[in-house]
Structure 1
Amino acid sequence: MIRHVRRVTAACALGALALGLAGCGEPAPDNAPKASPKSALKVSPKPRATPKPTLAPGPGGTTPVFERGAATKDRTVALTFDADMTADQGARARSGERFDNPQLVSTLRKLKVPATVFMTGRWAEEYPAEARDIGRDRLFEVANHSYSHYAFTGGCYGLPRVPARGMRADVDRAFGAFRKAGVEHVVPYFRFPGGCYDRAALRALTPTGVTAVQWDVVSGDAFATDADAVTRQVLDGVRPGSVVVMHCTRSAAPTTERVVRSVVPRLRAKGYRFVRVSELVGAARGA
């Protein structure tokens, strides 16, 4: 399903807020991404991976938006994981807070579950070895979740806002961080922090050539302590072609690995096949 208007899933607000709240409502810190006339003119970095399918531009040539695949007899579902870290959370990481989740990645490998990781550039800077490891594993694909995890619209659950003139630079900076970390399997997809976007944001990102990827199933894993409740929410929401949003940050989403261990065999028992987002986008483009 493709949309070209603003769509914010209220149930995901907790995750967006919880994972990116540090500094919310305060002026952007000195290390926040800044745009300049020169950066606005730069050509967006191209992902280093084998080209992956993107959707045709939306109305007026704006960035296309993908929410879910077609509900066909082929029961496919894409698990996606947001690797969130905002531009101003370095101090929290230095004090011991963990924004990564190696055990989750290990479990996905053991269960042989393809997945798409929407990674912020700041996360790749903080965990370059892990970013490189994920990006070199053909089971996964790495997509862009911005550099800063700041909002691309106003009123996005208290997140600091990227100015319109800095949106493209923020996306470009994330791609640059992936290259610096040695991430190889990068795909031309972008997820708006907090799921918040409007037509101005879609227009701003048009030159990057990305397809914006949303979701139709909110796991509710952000700050959840009841893995069974999250599991039920995922199982109740999944339909053929679904895109499930989860998180790859162990401090803010501590139950996710347990949820995956429970959800995967139960969905497979129902005949579902796990795919990366690129497969769903490719099928939608060919429809």
Structure 2
Amino acid sequence: MIPSVRRLTVVCALAAALAACGTAGAPGADRPARSTVPASPSSSRPPLLAPGPSGLTPVFEHGPRTLGKTVALTFDADMTADQGPRAAAGEHFDNPDLIGALRALKVPATIFMTGRWAEQYPVEARSLGHDPQFEVANHSWSHYAFTDDCYGLPTVGADGMRTDVERAFASLRKAGVPKPLPYFRFPGGCYDQRALRALSGLGVTAVQWDVVSGDAFATDADAVTRQVLDGVKPGSVVVMHCTRSAAPTTEQVVRAVVPELRHRGYRFVKVSQLIGETAGHR
């Protein structure tokens, strides 16, 4: 029996101690006004959203709905600061088969990687960082929550948030990711005004999503596939995971979703392209 979307959401919430699976507008979310700063045509710098009032960190959720059928698949490479012993015991927080499927299907994607994951899997981090099919962005170092109520995740104090993000960028570069993008995804998707203020001045755009795949700890790939296909709209950002132990069905879901969305006329792009399209559309 295929479970309902509500059941998937409950499973996602229970599982989020390992994987960021909150919905767009997660607990405590308070969105600043959306404005954009387009990249110069001659610049190779990735596009960013303009800071909000008083320099508040901007938040991006999806691209324009009227510029054609584009969709961005994003994958969170989650590993929390305290999961090293589990990895040493053989638990897999990576998913090479999923990455192989994306390469075989020629699907560009954005990977939001924790610094701790990059330290555990430096060869894979470097491979992703050097592959033009992918772009790698920041998902914090610790994968601890930036709000007090975020699906049971441990929390980072306001005075440690900026340091956690900076440490993640340093870990990504040390692992061999030459140019991690200035995009940041909050662990669990949870943020509030305090978190946005704490990251002000870092020059990052916070990236959320508008389609929750429900792949975290899911065992029914058909149900996850249906949830993605039912949710995608032009300009959508889909959140999935590339942690084998936490999201065992994701490769199967991707192999089903990609050809169906292509059949429906969708074109797969990276998050940076959606942000760029948003900038050019205003």
Where on the TM-score scale, by shorter chain, does this alignment land: which range? Answer: 0.7 to 0.9
TM-score by length of 1: 0.85
CA deviations on 1:219-246 (whole Å, 9 max, x unpaired) are 0000001101100000000000000000
Partner of 2:194: 200
**How far off its partner does 1:284 sit?**
1.0
Partner of 1:143: 137
2:150 pairs with 1:174: no
2:75 pairs with 1:86: no
**In structure 2, do the counterparts of structure 1 residues 276 and 204 end up closer, same or farther at CA, with 3 Å as the change threshold?**
same
* SS of aligned partner of 1:220: coil
Partner of 1:111: 105
CA deviations on 1:2-26 (whole Å, 9 max, x unpaired) are xxxxxxx988534523438xxxxxx
Please point out which of 91, 95, 99 is paired with 2:89.
95
Kept in 1, the 8 Å contact 2:77–2:117? The answer is: yes
**How far off its partner does 1:73 sit?**
4.4
Kept in 1, the 8 Å contact 2:184–2:205? The answer is: yes
* SS of aligned partner of 1:17: coil
CA deviations on 1:177-204 (whole Å, 9 max, x unpaired) are 0111111241110000001100110011
2:272 pairs with 1:278: yes
Q: Which amino acid aligns with 1:107?
A: A
Rounded to whole Å, the distance in 1 between the matches of 2:190 and 2:244 is 23
Query: Does 65-74 or 120-129 show the bigger shift?
Result: 65-74
Kept in 1, the 8 Å contact 2:92–2:244? The answer is: yes
Kept in 1, the 8 Å contact 2:71–2:237? The answer is: yes
Please point out which of 58, 65, 70 is paired with 2:64.
70
Partner of 1:157: 151
Kept in 2, the 8 Å contact 1:12–1:218? The answer is: no
CA deviations on 1:89-127 (whole Å, 9 max, x unpaired) are 000000000000000001000000000000000000000
Q: Which amino acid aligns with 1:196?
A: C
Q: What RMSD over aligned residues (CA atoms) do the two structures have, in Å?
A: 1.4
Kept in 2, the 8 Å contact 1:14–1:222? The answer is: no
2:10 pairs with 1:16: no
Kept in 1, the 8 Å contact 2:101–2:251? The answer is: yes
* SS of aligned partner of 1:52: coil
CA deviations on 1:211-267 (whole Å, 9 max, x unpaired) are 000000000000001101100000000000000000000011000000000000000
Rounded to whole Å, the distance in 2 between the matches of 1:73 and 1:173 is 36
**In structure 2, do the counterparts of structure 1 residues 12 and 51 end up closer, same or farther at CA, with 3 Å as the change threshold?**
farther
Kept in 2, the 8 Å contact 1:192–1:212? The answer is: yes
Q: How many aligned positions are there?
A: 250
2:214 pairs with 1:214: no
* SS of aligned partner of 2:16: helix
**In structure 2, do the counterparts of structure 1 residues 57 and 10 end up closer, same or farther at CA, with 3 Å as the change threshold?**
farther
Kept in 1, the 8 Å contact 2:118–2:175? The answer is: yes
Q: Which amino acid aligns with 2:19?
A: L
Please point out which of 249, 256, 266 is paired with 1:255.
249
Please point out which of 107, 118, 126 is paired with 1:124.
118
Kept in 2, the 8 Å contact 1:64–1:212? The answer is: yes
* SS of aligned partner of 1:19: coil
Kept in 2, the 8 Å contact 1:215–1:242? The answer is: yes
2:55 pairs with 1:61: yes
Partner of 1:40: none
**In structure 2, do the counterparts of structure 1 residues 205 and 183 end up closer, same or farther at CA, with 3 Å as the change threshold?**
same
CA deviations on 1:150-209 (whole Å, 9 max, x unpaired) are 010101111111111110000000000011111124111000000110011001101211
